[in-house]
Amino acid sequence: MPDFEPVLLKRINANASSALDAYRADGGYRAVVKALTEMTPAQVVDTVKNSGLRGRGGAGFPCGLKWTFLPKDHPGPIYLCINADESEPCTFNNRILMEKDPHQVLEGIILSSYAIRAKTCYFYIRYEYGDAYRNLQTAIDELYAANLLGKNILGKGVDLDVFLHRGAGAYICGEETGLIESLEGKRGWPRIKPPFPAIEGAFRKPTIVNNVETMACIPHIVNRGIDWFKSIGIPPDPKNPRDTGSYGPKLYCISGHVNKPCCVELPLGVTVRELIEKHGGGVWKNRKAKGCIPGGISMGIMTEAEFDTPLDFNGPGRVGCLGLGTAAVTVFDETTSIVDVLYNICRFFAHESCGQCTPCREGTGWMMKIMDRMRKGQGRREDLDILDEVAKSIGIMPGTTICGLADGAGWPVKNAIAKFRPELESYIRKGERTTLPLALAH
C-alpha cells in the first residue's frame, strides 16, 4: 500500500495544541461555517449519505442513511447521542481523538446536529476516560465562549447544547439502546426493537446514535467533498450485493504480542499482516504469530494463515469473522495457549452480559465454566461440541436475544473450535492423561 497522509491523526501526529485557537488556525470549524452559510440541513445529510461513510463503532451501518430514518417534519426535540463508551477490549482509537484533538470530534457533532435538526447532544463517555472527559469539557467551554455552541451559533439562527455524560463502566452500554437507558438514569440494558432510536430513542424522542470516530470524519467530508472521501478505501464488491463499500480513512489499533503497540490511520482495506509487520514492528521476541483478534474480541479469531485478509467492512467475513468491528487487532504468539485465549474471552462476556436475556445470561456463564474446567485440565471430549452448540444457539442471528452481545460472545468460540480444534483436543487429551481417576484421588 502506498504511503498515506493521515487526516484524522494529522494534528495529533504533529503534536498540535488541542486548544480552540490552534485548531482554528489549522483550518478548524471551516466546515461549520460552510455548512451554516452555504448548505441546508438536507444537503449536509445528502453529502454524508453519498460519501459512503459507514459508522466506525463496530456495526458499520451507513451514517447518512441512518440520519434519513428520522421522522420527516418532526416538531422535536430530536437528540444526537455520541457513543464514546469504547469498552471493546484493546480498542483505544476514540480515546486518542477525544484526548488529543477534541475539537475535531466536536466540529463533527455540530455538523451532524445541524443536519438532523438536533438542538441537544448527549456525549456519553465511559467513566474510566478521565483525561478525555476533562479535555472535552475544556473544549466545550471554549466553544460556548466563542459562540460556536449555545444560542444562535455564529449568528445563523442555529442552537445547540452539548452535555457530557459519564457512564459507569458497563460494556453493554456500547449498544445504542443500552446507552440510551443508562443516559436516562435507568439500568443499562438494551431495549427491544422496534421501535428503533431514530423513531423513539432518548426520552422517547427521535434520536441518532453515532460513534466518536464517525464524527471526526464528517468535517473532512464537508470540506473536501464526496469524491475525495471515496478516493480512499475500497469500493463495493460486485459479487456481494450487501456490500456498500468501505470508503475513507480508518483508525486501527495494534496491541498484544507486537513490538510496537500503536494506533495508526490508514485507508480501509489494509491487511492484518501489513499492520503487524509494518506498523506494529512485528511479533515480539522474534516469535511467530499463532493468530489474532481482528477487530475487538466480539469479532472472532483469525489464524496466522489468514493474516492477508483485508480489514475493510467486508474482508473479515470471508474468513468466518463477524465483521470489521472496531478494527482493534490483538496479536497472540505461537507460545500462547488457545485455551487461555478462549477462557479470557468467555470470562469477559460472562461478566458483561446484562442478564436480561436468558440464552445470553446462561450461555455465557456455561461457556466460561466449561473453559475454566478445561483450562484446569478437567476437560471432556464432548465439551467442544457443547461449546459449539451453545455458541451457535445464542444471539440476535439465531433470534434468541435482544442485542448482539451474545453473538459477540459466541463468535470467537465458534472460530476457535473450527480453526484450532486439534490444539483444543490435544489439551483435553493431556488433561485426561494427567488427571487421576476419582477413586484414586481419594
- Confidence bin at 438 (pLDDT 50/70/90): very low
Query: Rounded CA gap, 296 and 329, in Å?
Result: 7
pLDDT computed for residue 201 by the predictor? 96
- Residue 442: is its pLDDT beyond 50? no
CB proximity list for 3: less than 8 A, separation 6 or greater? none
368-420 residue pLDDT tens: 999 999 999 999 999 999 999 999 999 999 999 999 999 999 999 999 999 99
- Band (pLDDT 50/70/90 cuts) for residue 112 is very high
Q: Whose CA is closest to 404, among 298, 297, 293?
A: 298
Q: Where residue 185 falls among pLDDT bands split at 50, 70, 90?
A: very high
Q: Give the position of cell 442471528.
A: 397
pLDDT value for 433: 63
Of the pLDDT bands very low, low, confident and very high (cuts 50, 70, 90), residue 124 is very high
- pLDDT of residue 427 exceeding 50, the answer is yes
Residue 60 pLDDT: 87
In contact, 300 and 309? CB cutoff 8 Å: no
Report CA 326 to chain centroid distance, whole Å: 4
pLDDT in tens, 302-317: 999 999 999 999 999 9
Contact present, 202 and 75 (Cβ < 8 Å): no
Instruction: Tell me the pLDDT tens digit for each residue of 207-247.
Output: 999 999 999 999 999 999 999 999 999 999 888 888 889 99
10-231 and 338-434 share one fold: no
Share of the chain above pLDDT 90, in %: 92
Neighbours of 196 (CB within 10 A): 16
CATH domain 10-231 topology: Rossmann fold (3.40.50)
Report pLDDT digits (tens) over 189-211: 999 999 999 999 999 999 999 99
List the chain domain ranges: 10-231, 246-333, 338-434
Centre a 10 Å sphere on the Cβ of residue 245 and count the other Cβ atoms it contains.
18
Query: 2.60.110.10, 3.30.1360.80, 3.40.50.150, 3.10.20.600: which CATH number matches 246-333?
Result: 3.10.20.600
Distance CA(122)–CA(105), nearest Å, equals: 13
Residues 402 and 269: their CA atoms lie apart, in Å, by 31
Helix axes 421-434, 358-375, angle to 10 degrees: 60
Q: Which amino acid is at 258?
A: V
Residue 348 pLDDT greater than 90, yes or no:
yes
pLDDT of 128 reads 94
pLDDT by residue (tens digit) across 138-170? 999 999 999 999 999 999 999 999 999 999 889
Confidence of residue 440 (pLDDT cuts 50, 70, 90): very low
Task: Say what the pLDDT of residue 100 is.
Answer: 97
The model's confidence at residue 2, banded by pLDDT at 50, 70 and 90, is low
pLDDT at 437: 45
- Cα distance between residue 391 and residue 105, in whole Å: 37
**What architecture is the 338-434 domain classified under in CATH?**
Up-down Bundle (1.20)
How large is the greatest C-alpha to C-alpha distance in the chain, in angstroms? 84
Question: Length of the chain, please?
Answer: 442
Angstrom distance (rounded) from CA 261 to CA 266: 15
Cα–Cα distance between 105 and 12 in angstroms, integer? 13
Q: Report whether pLDDT(439) > 80.
A: no
Per-residue burial over 263-275, b if 16 or more Cβ lie within 10 Å, else e, is: bbbbbbbbbbebb
- The residue behind cell 496479536 is 331
Average pLDDT, the chain: 94
